[in-house]
Amino acid sequence: MDSRLAALFAIWRKAFLPLGRIDDPLSVFAGHAGHLLVIDPEGERHRYSHYGQAFARAFGTDLTGQIIDLVPTEILPVDRRGILDFEYTFARSAKRPLWRAHTGQFADDKTQTWQRLVLPLGQDRLAVGAYPAQLVPERQEEKLLRLVIERMPVVLDDDLRIQDLALSLAAFCDTQQQMAELEVLASSDSLTGVANQRHFLHLAGLELDHALRMERAFSLLALDIDHFKRINDGYGHATGDAALKAFVAACKTALREYDILGRLGGEEFGVALPNTGVEGAMVIAERLRQHVQDIRLPLPKGEALAFTVSVGVCAFQLGGGQKDVDIPSMMEKADAALYRSKSQGRNRVTLAE
């Protein structure tokens, strides 16, 4: 074990074992505060109430106050989030310290191995100390142990001896797969497979923030399938669902790989266009409109269903005099342009004023 973590464990053992709790971990572990997380229970979730500066530097952001399973995936990927949630839940229920290691790319894209200790504080609170491992010559058994803690949390007893593994390898793999599946379910529209409203707005917000930082253009499209109620009423909801799927497929052929398509509700969709100004957004919107117009959905009696889409475009470009730009305000403008498309005859693209 890294010597700094061993020192942290010794402090925990002396403070925790007599009372079964540590009420002021930042005071008790003052010498490790920069490399310390304090995690408070939030129902079944976990919230960072202290996030050491070493973590903020290594991961590029300060997550103080954040609930772990609501942290954006680009900051905390699904596979990492799943095992962290498992470790913290296990440590809370078992009330035992865990030892773990993780190798990955951290600050400046450097590959490092960080070892960490998850320490119970009582009342379902946890402290996590972590340090980048110091490279030292290893004996064969130490190499084997390092491989184990890279893949599995190890349960420690009060004397820093290995007591057990927190999870079998088979169960660990199953948990990882389940977490990935849950993440997809939580962020995707169940019918069409594109981003649901919550996830779309989140991703669009991240792209707008990036555009503002990098001084790049950014655009949003608001889409609404024309007369969609007639499809449901005239042909049934099964045909309506098939029309939505065909619509999404047509949109994907018209969009670029990095564009973001989301279903906002019913027959309403949105598209985020990173690094795209007014002219590019209008070209893409018109191409998308044409792809949808070309849809021919086979019907049971040998007929083919055709339908169209109305589009509203809102573009943000630095130097355009726009202030306090955000996704809700851009969506409001795109929606207003969409309804002008509707009022002017449908099956058209309108640029926001």
Q: Where are the domains of the chain?
A: 3-187, 197-351
Lowest mean pLDDT among 107-111, 132-136, 141-145, 336-340: 141-145
Angle between helices 197-214 and 327-343 (to 10 degrees): 110
Q: What is the C-alpha to C-alpha distance for residues 26 and 127, in angstroms, rounded to an integer?
A: 9
Q: Do domains 3-187 and 197-351 have the same CATH topology?
A: no
**Distances in whole angstroms, Cα of residue 104 to Cα of each of 169, 176, 185, 200:** 20, 17, 26, 28
* 231 within 8 A of 304, measured Cβ to Cβ: no
Given a cut of 80, whether residue 85 has pLDDT beyond it is: no
Instruction: Count other C-beta atoms under 10 Å from residue 348's C-beta.
Output: 18
pLDDT computed for residue 177 by the predictor: 52
Q: What is the CATH number of domain 3-187?
A: 3.30.450
Distance CA 102, CA 116 (A): 8
Which pLDDT value is given to residue 344? 95
* Residue 259 three-state SS: coil
150 belongs to the catalytic site: no
Residues 279-286 have a mean pLDDT of 96
67-71, 85-89, 264-268 — which is least confidently predicted?
67-71
Tokens 């905390």, residue located: 76
What pLDDT, on a 0 to 100 scale, did the predictor assign at position 318? 65
pLDDT at 171: 47
Question: For residues 226 and 330, what is the distance between their CA atoms, to the nearest angstrom?
Answer: 22
End-to-end CA distance of the chain: 62
Coil, helix or strand at residue 300:
coil
What is the pLDDT, as a whole number, of residue 169?
46
Give the best-scoring range by mean pLDDT among 30-39, 183-192, 236-245.
236-245
Would you say residue 76 has pLDDT above 90? Answer: no
Higher-confidence position of 161 and 284: 284
Instruction: Name the band, by pLDDT with cuts 50, 70 and 90, for residue 349.
Output: very high
pLDDT at 343 over 80: yes
Look-up of token digits 């018109």: 286
Domain 197-351: CATH class, spelled out = alpha beta
- Confidence band, pLDDT 50/70/90 cuts, at residue 319: low
Residue-level pLDDT at 104: 60
Catalytic: which of 87, 183, 207, 267? 267
pLDDT digits (tens, 9 = 90+) for 184-229: 556 788 889 899 988 899 889 888 988 888 888 999 999 999 999 9
Percentage of the chain beyond pLDDT 70 is 75
- Exposed, middle or buried, 317 (CB in 10 Å: 0-12/13-18/19+)? middle
Helix count and strand count (H, E) for the chain: 11, 14
Q: CA 353, CA 348: separation in Å to the nearest integer?
A: 16
Q: Which candidate, 237, 250, 117, places its Cα nearest to that of 194?
A: 250
For the residues 257-264, what does the mean pLDDT come to?
A: 92
